[in-house]
Structure 1
Amino acid sequence: YTMQIVMSFLMLTMISVMLPRAGVAAGRIEEVIGTRPSVTDREQVQDEKLRSAKGVVSFEDVSFRYPGADEDALENLTFTAGPGETTAVIGSTGCGKSTLLNLIPRFYDVTAGRITIDGVDIRDLSQHKLRSLLGYVPQKAVLFSGDIASNLKFGGTWQDGASDITDSSMEEAARIAQATEFIESKTEKYHSGISQGGTNVSGGQKQRLSIARAIAKSPKIYLFDDSFSALDYKTDVTLRRALREKTGDATVIIVAQRISTILNADRIIVLDDGKIAGMGTHRELLRECEAYREIARSQLSEAELKGGAAV
């Protein structure tokens, strides 16, 4: 009897501790569920203007400030990225590279100025239409529970549980992303299981699958947010060469930390504290942009610098 009484009091104590915790957790869940999204579609969208989109992305005097911040994260950005071109963005940590890229799929809306695709303000498009034009590879690769095939076909249009991305398109995307070798080495190949978050594959494999997922969609605009950082140099070079052939008529925007990734970009934008410090090719920036030269000195040898600076 004494033990039963003691255990009852212990249960009461545990309940008195757990109830307040449960109340706080329920309040947080309710807050998330009740939050109204700040990025919404307009009542009258102009999706019909982009029925045959080319993929010309233009930043027109764009500024952006995070809610509650005292200063702009990006300030007065103006540039154009066109089809068949690779536009790279480089700069020091915290200069706003990823923020710039995240404005294009409307993860945030610009504070001032506007971003257009083929001359149409992206805020005048439905989010579904806008994102159907984009192939986005985030800085932190994200995979979903299922198998490799379902992850690679995730970006397609799904009807009755099937994606419009064919098996041949999926396999081609995996080949371009240099993922075929490790996929084929698995017993079940493309039907091999993937844990939530991709915890059962390495960082490099996860990045290659994430890149393949974007390629399989065959979008008009590719957005790579430092998506090659987990790859070794040889794989990086091979992947980018194959990617260049695949994306010949698409607009490619790359955020990168390594200069070696963007040496051959048609246009390199150097960001410094949220502003454009320089814009041009690798050789032009070596001659004209001090911020770019500082990054280059930290990553390239003297021979590479002299070779790149030659006209």
Structure 2
Amino acid sequence: MRRHRWRYLAGAAVLLVIDVLQLLIPRVLGDVADAFASGQLSAAYAARQALTLLLLAALISSGRWAWRHLLLGASRLLEADLRRQLFAHLQRMSSGYFVRHRVGDLMAHLTNDVQAVRMAAGQGVVLSIDALFMTTAVVAMMASSADLRLALAAAAPLLLLSAGLTYTGREVHRRFRAVQEGFSRLTEFAEENIGGIRVVKALAREEQERLRFERIAAEQVELNVRLARVWAIMGPMTEAAVGLAYVVVLLLGGRLVVSGEVSLGRFVAFAGYLGMLIWPLTSIGWLINMVQRGRASLERLAALLAEQPDVEELPDAVSPGRLSGRIEVRHLTFTYPGATRPALSDVSFTVEPGQVVGIVGRTGAGKSTLAQLLLRLYDPPAGTILYDGRDVRSLKLEELRRQIGYVPQDGFLFSVSIADNIAMGLDPTHDEGDDVRERVEAAARLAHIHEDVMRFPQGYDSLVGERGVALSGGQKQRTSIARALVKDPPILILDDALSAVDAETERAILEDLRGVLRTRTAIVITHRLSAVREADQILVLDEGRVVERGTHAELLRRGGLYARLYERQRLEAELAAPEATGSDGLARVEWHAASG
């Protein structure tokens, strides 16, 4: 709000001027009534007063447009600022943050919570200024325009109203917070279900998922109804208080007019002011509702913004320069936050520039954890991972990650064209110009996705849909490989990046990549051992430890875990091959199984 303080101040000033002008209307009507009662009302006087009312109406209308433009416009700007701040904050947060927080909850923060804050900072500010000034000014004008006894009698029901509104305000705050948390659960379920709609349909789960959604939606309805019950009390409570005040004014004020203690004009003005009091008093209910909603949402947003990323760039971080590709891992032990067992234990190895290192092992051995630590998506212990002899924690994060081509197993794609998905690997501050499309296509050819792309009607400009839904699993992985290759990184990390392609395509991709890999350091994480046969060094992980290391031939000769995994995969390949379906093939499989 400080950023837009001049709009707020100007809008508040205009609003106060308009409120003052509105206070003049009952006084004009009272003067006309007194002139009529005294027999001094003339056509000329009535015309002048009518023109005065028209002028006041014109000024009030213009002023209302001005303060709406200033105050409500400021709240819209504040909403945009807050939404940008929240999104930038989410971009700063580490990978572990998104494991702990549901997507639906974050979406509720960016939508409903921000909107509630905007309403409190816009209409809520208007109502607070209007209610405070108009209530105070109208009561003062009522006291000055009539007998003090009449003003005190009219104010008594309004004091009872304030006590009731205080209680309902607290309830609105508590119940609206529950509503927002329920909305988070509803959004999370819907987002997850729509994202996984193909799985839902494949399992014929449509009816069950519909019923689950109905249960969550019914809970949300109940939460909103509980809030509405409290909110519904505010309007009738205010109207009852104002109605009671009118009864008191008519009974007591009528008697004072008849007795001559109060003139008819002053009584008309007093009644007019009492009518003007209805809006600010009614708006107090709206104001409490709006402010309490905004307060509840602001508390949720403040809690989100207060969280700090697990991985932060140190103040004295240095630029890594162009990395040569030398990687050292020294006695690395890492445990995920909240876990009881380490995911990696005492892992050590060295990768020289230009080497290809394969990392293999069974599911859950810690392979992907190692890849994420090399990228510093999680913070490794100090001195355990070094690039060109420098601790990874001492390097600037953005510059480090720009020099690592990382291909995750899931191959996430964004809802843009194929060309734009691949070009995301480029540095937008340096990689611009006419050669971007050429580099994109060159990377796509290396990743063996170019031919598939050209079969689409719009080629590289074809949209891939949400999360790449228009592409197969293998096509998504190859597009992700192209995205990593397009920026020509000195270090390439493939985290089971070819799991969704067939063995023949995998061999063709790896063959084309060999020329690329000669000029850079590559870490190939895979469960398919044929992908690392040509690696300079192979590390075998089991339960977070390096249990074997060596070349493909050396590991086979030792007959350890690597040899057993390789033999099992070879048998599976033979069993799946067409020639393995005959009696000779079956005999070979049985012989291998028996000998293994």
So what's the TM-score if we normalise by structure 1? 0.85
Deviations 1:168-212 (CA, angstroms, capped at 9, x unpaired): 211111001000111111121111112221111111111110000
Give aligned-pair identity as a percent: 36
Counterpart for residue 96 of structure 1: 366
Counterpart for residue 181 of structure 2: 23
Whole-angstrom CA distance in 1 between matches of 2:431 and 2:511: 34
* Kept in 2: contact 1:63–1:112 (CA 8 A): no
Q: In the alignment, residue 240 of structure 1 is paired with which amino acid?
A: L
> Measured at CA, do residues 153 and 165 of structure 1 come closer, stay the same or move farther in structure 2, by a change above 3 Å?
farther
Q: Specify which of 220, 225, 235 is matched with residue 490 of structure 2.
A: 220
Q: In the alignment, residue 317 of structure 2 is paired with which amino acid?
A: V
Counterpart for residue 135 of structure 1: 405
> Measured at CA, do residues 119 and 159 of structure 1 come closer, stay the same or move farther in structure 2, by a change above 3 Å?
closer
Counterpart for residue 544 of structure 2: 274
Counterpart for residue 43 of structure 1: 315
Q: In the alignment, residue 62 of structure 1 is paired with which amino acid?
A: L
Counterpart for residue 354 of structure 2: 84
Whole-angstrom CA distance in 2 between matches of 1:164 and 1:278: 48
Q: Specify which of 439, 455, 460 is matched with residue 190 of structure 1.
A: 460
Deviations 1:109-164 (CA, angstroms, capped at 9, x unpaired): 11365101111111000111110110000111111111111111101111499579
Q: Specify which of 413, 417, 426 is matched with residue 156 of structure 1.
A: 426
Counterpart for residue 344 of structure 2: 74
**Higher Cα Rg: structure 1 or 2?**
2
Q: Give 1:276 shift.
A: 0.5
Counterpart for residue 57 of structure 1: 327
Counterpart for residue 9 of structure 1: none
Q: In the alignment, residue 178 of structure 2 is paired with which amino acid?
A: P
Q: Does 1 or 2 have the higher relative contact order (CA < 8 Å, sep 6+)?
A: 1
Q: Give 1:71 shift.
A: 2.0
Deviations 1:32-81 (CA, angstroms, capped at 9, x unpaired): 4442101001111121xx32321111101111011122221111111111
Whole-angstrom CA distance in 2 between matches of 1:169 and 1:281: 34
Q: Give 1:228 shift.
A: 0.3
SS, match of residue 95 in structure 1: coil
* Kept in 2: contact 1:154–1:163 (CA 8 A): no
Q: In the alignment, residue 400 of structure 2 is paired with which amino acid?
A: L
SS, match of residue 146 in structure 1: coil
Q: Give 1:28 shift.
A: 7.0
Q: Specify which of 444, 462, 469 is matched with residue 174 of structure 1.
A: 444
Counterpart for residue 309 of structure 1: none
Count, aligned residues: 286
Q: In the alignment, residue 45 of structure 1 is paired with which amino acid?
A: A
Whole-angstrom CA distance in 2 between matches of 1:77 and 1:289: 22
Deviations 1:206-258 (CA, angstroms, capped at 9, x unpaired): 11100000011100100111000000111100100111112211000011001
Q: In the alignment, residue 364 of structure 2 is paired with which amino acid?
A: G
Q: Give 1:17 shift.
A: 9.8
Q: Give 1:264 shift.
A: 1.2
Counterpart for residue 207 of structure 1: 477
Q: In the alignment, residue 212 of structure 1 is paired with which amino acid?
A: A
* Kept in 2: contact 1:156–1:164 (CA 8 A): no
Q: Which has the higher helix share?
A: 2
* Kept in 1: contact 2:402–2:427 (CA 8 A): no
Per mean C-alpha deviation after superposition, the further-off stretch among 19-28 and 129-138 is: 19-28
Q: In the alignment, residue 534 of structure 2 is paired with which amino acid?
A: N
* Kept in 2: contact 1:156–1:163 (CA 8 A): no
Give me the CA root mean square deviation.
2.4
Whole-angstrom CA distance in 2 between matches of 1:160 and 1:60: 34
> Measured at CA, do residues 160 and 121 of structure 1 come closer, stay the same or move farther in structure 2, by a change above 3 Å?
closer
* Kept in 1: contact 2:427–2:487 (CA 8 A): no
Counterpart for residue 247 of structure 2: none
Whole-angstrom CA distance in 2 between matches of 1:165 and 1:279: 42
2:557 counterpart of 1:291: no
> Measured at CA, do residues 289 and 123 of structure 1 come closer, stay the same or move farther in structure 2, by a change above 3 Å?
farther
* Kept in 2: contact 1:176–1:212 (CA 8 A): yes
Whole-angstrom CA distance in 1 between matches of 2:303 and 2:568: 46
> Measured at CA, do residues 80 and 117 of structure 1 come closer, stay the same or move farther in structure 2, by a change above 3 Å?
same
Whole-angstrom CA distance in 1 between matches of 2:472 and 2:505: 15
2:519 counterpart of 1:249: yes
Q: Which ranges in structure 2 are unaligned for 5 or more consecutive residues?
A: 1-173, 185-296, 575-587, 589-596
Per mean C-alpha deviation after superposition, the further-off stretch among 29-38 and 287-296 is: 29-38
Q: Give 1:265 shift.
A: 1.0
Whole-angstrom CA distance in 1 between matches of 2:462 and 2:494: 26
Q: Which has the higher strand share?
A: 1
Whole-angstrom CA distance in 1 between matches of 2:322 and 2:175: 60
